[in-house]
Amino acid sequence: MDTSTQQLERARQLLDGEELSLTELAQAVGLSASHLQRRFAAHFGLSPAQYLAQRKLGALKSALRDGNDVSAALYDAGYGSPSRVYEDNSAKLGMTPARYRTGGRGEDIRWSLVDTALGKALVAATQRGICMVELGDDPAALEQKLQHEFPNAQRTRVDAGRDEFLAPRLRAVAEHLAGRRGDVPLDLIGTAFQKRVWDALMKIPAGQTRSYAEIAVALDSPKATRAVASACAHNRVAIVVPCHRVIRSDGSLGGYRWGLPLKERLLQRERAV
């Protein structure tokens, strides 16, 4: 490990142990603040501030999952103010910390099954937009996946076309799955880096592909190839967020949440169009 890499690893270890400003962190590892900011982001895929935020968020989520008191979990994770964590993390958790602790209790999710050009799809939406599009042949298995993702949310199944809010979103998703572009409002729940990856995926033109490494470079994080692949694997919104357009550098397909045969079929269809 060269000296520069050792300094970056030291910076990461310091952030794992305490909350430091960029200036304090740079002084501790013997780099200028601007140089540390640039090199840390290139190596880890996140700035030092984003890394610290994700570490704190991870600690908070773990404590909430364990059933700890919300206030205690907030302070143990390093948040100085309960009001600030609600403001900063609701979008990342997809809900407030209290609701996350109870598995999404209080969230209202409406869902339905729709037949599409790619087979059956479960489409689920909050008031903010589509939060899940899952593909599969077994309706019961699709419903189980929704339950697993949002175990304690209020999940209401509605008949296709009979809900003024969900009906147009079902149509938009069906159009998208048929290969016709349309505006699909999304409620993407993920980390800051995952959202950056998903945004980059949605900018890849149909019929084209990018490698995981190319996406990492486009995000100014050339060492974050594995993090890009992980973000693709955690995409809950099939086709609309087109992770099927991301392949390995050697041209092989790589992985796909909904199976490689579908990934290959999608790419072939888009190239033909």
**pTM of this structure:** 0.57
Q: Looking at residue 243, what is its pLDDT?
A: 92
pLDDT tens-place string over residues 27-51: 999 999 999 988 888 887 778 888 8
Looking at the structure of the chain, the number of domains it has is: 3
User: Are residues 168 and 196 located together in one domain of the fold?
Assistant: no
pLDDT tens-place string over residues 165-177: 777 777 778 777 7
For residue 98, tell me if it sits in a domain. Answer: no
Q: pLDDT grade, residue 92 (50/70/90)?
A: low
Residues with a known catalytic role: 243
Q: pLDDT grade, residue 95 (50/70/90)?
A: low
User: Are residues 197 and 262 located together in one domain of the fold?
Assistant: yes
Residues 6+ apart with CB under 8 A from 153: 103, 104, 105, 106, 107, 108, 109
User: Are residues 169 and 202 located together in one domain of the fold?
Assistant: no
Cβ-contact 216, 223 below 8 angstroms: yes
Phi, psi for 9 (deg, rounded to 5): -65, -40
Last residue of a domain, one of 143, 177, 211: 177
For residue 103, tell me if it sits in a domain. Answer: no
For residue 182, tell me if it sits in a domain. Answer: no
For residue 37, tell me if it sits in a domain. Answer: yes
Q: Looking at residue 91, what is its pLDDT?
A: 44
Give the CATH number, domain containing residue 24.
Answer: 1.10.10.60
Measured from the Cβ of residue 104, the count of other Cβ atoms closer than 10 Å reads 21
Q: Looking at residue 85, what is its pLDDT?
A: 59
User: Are residues 259 and 196 located together in one domain of the fold?
Assistant: yes
Give the CATH number, domain containing residue 228.
Answer: 1.10.10.10
- Tell me, rounded to whole angstroms, the distance of Cα 83 from its chain centroid: 24
Residue numbers of the domain that contains 247? 192-272
